[in-house]
Amino acid sequence: MATRTTGNLTGPTGGTGDAAAVLTAHGVRRAFDGRPVLAGVDLSIAAGEVVALLGGSGSGKSTLLRVLAGLDAEATGRTGLRGTAAVVFQEHRLLPWKRVGDNVALGLTGPDVRARVDRALAEVGLADRRRAWPAELSGGQAQRVAVARALVRGPDLLLLDEPFGALDALTRLRMQSLLRRLRAEHGFAALLVTHDVEEALLLADRILLLDGGVIAEEIPVDLDPARSPDQPAFGALRRRLLDRLGVPAA
């Protein structure tokens, strides 16, 4: 069972003693039927930092994200969250029997829920779909509602599990710039699970490589905020990551 500390992590439980960390994990392990998938993962995410988690298919990215989200009762190790976290999954996971607005409002309380929901929907460009059923939305729209459902909680940390992986290329580009804009406005930290090297380079301040059940490599992304794949530095980092992931040069 992963011990989870919520709240102040600056005390002795903080481990690395990173005062600004919004999320820390130490020695996270998880095995399925005796086969280890996570073999002692350590990581820390600073407030407002966007970290991409890269790894091959089946490397345990989703497993790690579920542990960090507190959804896996059978993992061992320690995770600490300071503040609140919200999750966006690869599938939108909207409740089909609730209208878009009620999906976003799920679990919210207070007198101003309606206004908060409207604001969150407006931020993802779906202000006019509040009364629509999820089944009436396109894949990209549904995923934007899922983003709004996470945003409306005002999270300090956004956990994203390949949130745009199921979308077509054009929609994916739009969603990436939407995420960049939202992050600039709200300043949340994010852990972005992806298998798309370019997406990681576009959005992240730092890239973690999950391999063999541990964080095998940590790569800072020292690119200017308005980065684009055309820049030489971008290309060089891209090549380095692809090499590391075992993708041969064309």
Ligand X SMILES: Nc1ncnc2c1ncn2[C@@H]1O[C@H](COP(=O)(O)OP(=O)(O)O)[C@@H](O)[C@H]1O
For other proteins, the binding residues (CB under 8 A) are 69, 71, 85-87, 89, 91, 93, 95-99, 106-107, 132-136, 149, 153
**DSSP state at residue 72:** -
> d(Cα 173, Cα 179) in Å, to the nearest integer?
10
Asked if 27 and 42 touch (Cβ cutoff 8 Å), the reply is yes
Residue 34's binding partner among Mg ion, other proteins, ligand X, none (Cβ under 5 to 8 angstroms by kind) is none
Is the Cα dihedral 213, 18, 162, 52 positive or negative? negative
CB of 25 to ligand X, least distance (A): 15
Asked if 250 and 242 touch (Cβ cutoff 8 Å), the reply is no
Residue 37's binding partner among Mg ion, ligand X, other proteins, none (Cβ under 5 to 8 angstroms by kind) is ligand X
Q: Hey, how many other C-beta atoms are within 10 angstroms of the C-beta on 179? A: 23
Residue 55's binding partner among other proteins, ligand X, Mg ion, none (Cβ under 5 to 8 angstroms by kind) is ligand X
CB of 106 to other proteins, least distance (A): 5
**DSSP state at residue 129:** G
109 binds ligand X (CB under 6 A): no
Q: Return the residues of window 20-49 that contact ligand X according to CB under 6 A.
A: 32, 37
What the block records as the tokens of 160 is: 């994203």
Looking at the DSSP assignment, which residues form a beta bridge with residue 46?
A: 21
Q: Return the residues of window 61-80 that contact Mg ion according to CB under 5 A.
A: 62
Residue 58's binding partner among ligand X, Mg ion, other proteins, none (Cβ under 5 to 8 angstroms by kind) is ligand X
Angle at 94 between CA 92 and CA 96, to 5 degrees: 130
CB of 171 to other proteins, least distance (A): 17
Residues that bind ligand X (CB under 6 A): 32, 37, 55, 57-63
